[in-house]
Structure 1
Amino acid sequence: MIEILSMSTIIAPITYGVTQMAKKATNINKRYLPMVATVLGMGLGATAFFLEADLTSRLWAGGISGLAAVGLSELGKKQWRATCKSLPFLLF
């Protein structure tokens, strides 16, 4: 389990970047973004041959990294909105 979590820590920033690129390049409904990020993460995990683990562990790590990427994005948006509400001079 610790190995899967450490692998997902490595894959999560890459998954976040690829998900953001996919979001900008296509017209994905925001409702399906967590599913898209999870599938992209699993794909990235499956192709991460530099990680010395079996395919199943890499797929789990990729799925977790996709969910982590969505959570990171949502947390950042939530914090930014809260900051803008408390400091109105930041609105531009």
Structure 2
Amino acid sequence: MQQVLLFATVISPFVFGVIEVVKKAFRIPKNYIPLISMGIGLLAGVAAFPFTDMEIMLRAWAGVGAGLSGTGLFEIVNKREGFSKQENSEE
């Protein structure tokens, strides 16, 4: 269990950075951001096989944990309106 938490801590800043880039680059509904963060964390955990000898399920769990910490677990249950990249229209 300590390996999973340590691995999630290591990849969490990477996942957070990718999520911030995605939020700035694409106009997506805000309530989908935690789900996208979990997916990116899952992919990052699975893709990190050369850096650890953990089995794939443990890396996947660590990736999901890193994704949840990237957006904050509380955002999953909050109802959020709007989009991540607002259009600048002054009409």
TM-score, with normalisation over the residues of structure 1?
0.74
Q: Which has the larger radius of gyration?
A: 1
Q: CA separation in 1, counterparts of 2:34 and 2:23? A: 11
Q: Aligned AA for 1:70?
A: T
Deviation readout 1:50-78 (Å, 9 max, x if unpaired)? 12211101000000000011129x7xxxx
* Identity percentage of aligned residues: 38
Q: CA separation in 2, counterparts of 1:40 and 1:14? A: 10
Q: Residue 12 of structure 1 corresponds to which residue in structure 2?
A: 12
Q: Aligned AA for 2:60?
A: L
Deviation readout 1:6-57 (Å, 9 max, x if unpaired)? 0000010000001111111111111111110000000000000212211101
Q: How does 1:18-57 map to 2 (within 5 A)?
A: 18-49=18-49, 50-57=51-58
Answer 1 or 2: which has greater helix percent: 1
Structure 2 counterpart SS, 1:24: helix
Query: Structure 2, unaligned stretches of length 5 or more?
Result: 76-91
Q: CA separation in 2, counterparts of 1:52 and 1:71? A: 28
Q: Aligned AA for 2:17?
A: G
TM-score, with normalisation over the residues of structure 2?
0.75
Number of residue-to-residue matches in the alignment? 73
Aligned-residue Cα RMSD (Å) equals 1.4
Structure 1 outlier segments of 4+, above 3 Å: none
Q: Aligned AA for 2:69?
A: A
